[in-house]
Structure 1
């Protein structure tokens, strides 16, 4: 199979409900969106990186740091819609959707999600998971995923899944879904045009739209600890994790 041209798109908006302007929030003195962009650039399987945004402040911050930006409509209701508009403007076989509020993303994790496309020519979409504790699984802000024996998603939920009917089960395993996606570009454009589905709206999880329409999602495991920034207080947690990683690496 010939090499697949791969583009990473990082959707970013300024008007976050819980944390306005979070894309430009400083983490160790660097804007979060710039930190994400530079982390993605380190992945050798990525050929080009763009931030997809509707905000000139974000555009200026990224371009000042040497990054590339694609301006998109301000009317998008989701990050998927935003990257689909941007994807329509570029030439690529694969599109990697990396959230702009994941400053701890690692090149290794991105490569893990891209790699199956080099072996499975019918694969449309992939994502990541990491093992978590039962206490973490009880948090509805952490999306859980269960997979079949071939590592394809069976279901995503804000509820703890699976449900262990017998409390005495020795081994209770839960996986958090990591919101990084890889799509074949043509599938992404098709996916963005699909109507919202019942389960997608019930759980407020876009990826369920693919499952409800009969498409498979490959789920790869990673041990990388990610801390998404949803609220201002998450910045401190991210900075502590960066300090811990620096100590380990040095």
Structure 2
């Protein structure tokens, strides 16, 4: 149920065509549909959402999205980050909470996005929301896996590519992987471009640290382990197999998605 106009939620799916590791990634075929369509259809299953749209800088993606009946907004190709691209979308789509759902996550679970939206609605003091799940120590040492440490109320204390907390006594350490889905309140997006880049953001190459350094609250909601996203041709092959009901050989550290 919607709680009123102050709770308008828009899901925005950034979809860049020019991926260096997998050119044309949003349009990669998975079971007869372009990848971005799988993401769009799953986002459309989230209840209580006022709008679902794709934000792209490429006319080929726009044509495909409109072809399957989706809503699409063309944005500048010059944005330095996905958050800046999301801020441009605000001019086209009025909402109070904007959820940034990457276009290379065809295995996203609608219930996880619904949990994120509900968490933002339930606590107006939370400025930014995101997701996380538990991982083992082997995955924690992978710098491509971003880790998060939480306060007792679920607010993020820090994000890092390093294993945090440091396992001084290995048996005492548990780890949470940050899942890169964000929910922003409108005023946070409006202010984002003016925030200075702190040293920690430049060192870790993690834009969410800009928000933490500015004193904003990021609440992380824990969910079950998520399926792999698509970054490379190898990732695409794994996702195709999973969505076809097969069980490809995956690295032990990669969270499995149960269909």
TM band (smaller chain) = over 0.9
SS at match of 1:80: helix
Aligned length: 246
Mapped to 2, the partners of 1:224 and 1:5 lie a distance apart of 28
Q: For 1:5, which of 8, 27, 47 is the aligned residue? A: 8
User: Residue 233 of structure 2 aligns to a residue in which SS?
Assistant: coil
Pick from 132, 136, 141: which aligns with 2:135? 132
TM-score, L = length of structure 2: 0.90
TM superposition shift of 1:121:
1.6
1:233 alignment partner, SS class: helix
| Number of the residue aligned with 1:165 | 168
Q: Distance in 2 between matches of 1:144 and 1:224?
A: 14
Q: Which of 65, 68, 78 is residue 68 of structure 2 equivalent to?
A: 65
Partner of 1:146: 149
Equivalence for 1:117:
120
Q: 1:91-240, aligned counterparts within 5 Å? A: 91-167=94-170, 169=171, 171-240=172-241
- TM-score, reference length from structure 1: 0.93
DSSP 3-state at the match of 1:92 = coil
Deviates more, 1:189-198 or 1:50-59: 189-198
- Structure 2 unaligned blocks of 5 or more: 248-257
Consecutive unaligned residues in structure 1, runs of 5 or more: none
Distance apart, 1:200 and its partner CA:
0.9
RMSD of Structure 2 on Structure 1 (CA): 1.7
Show CA shifts across 1:45-66 (max 9, x none). 3221111111000001111011
Shift of 1:224: 4.1
Q: Which residue of 1 aligns with 2:24?
A: 21
Instruction: Say which is worse superposed, 20-29 or 206-215, in terms of deviation.
Output: 20-29
Structure 1 counterpart of 2:86, from 69, 80, 83: 83
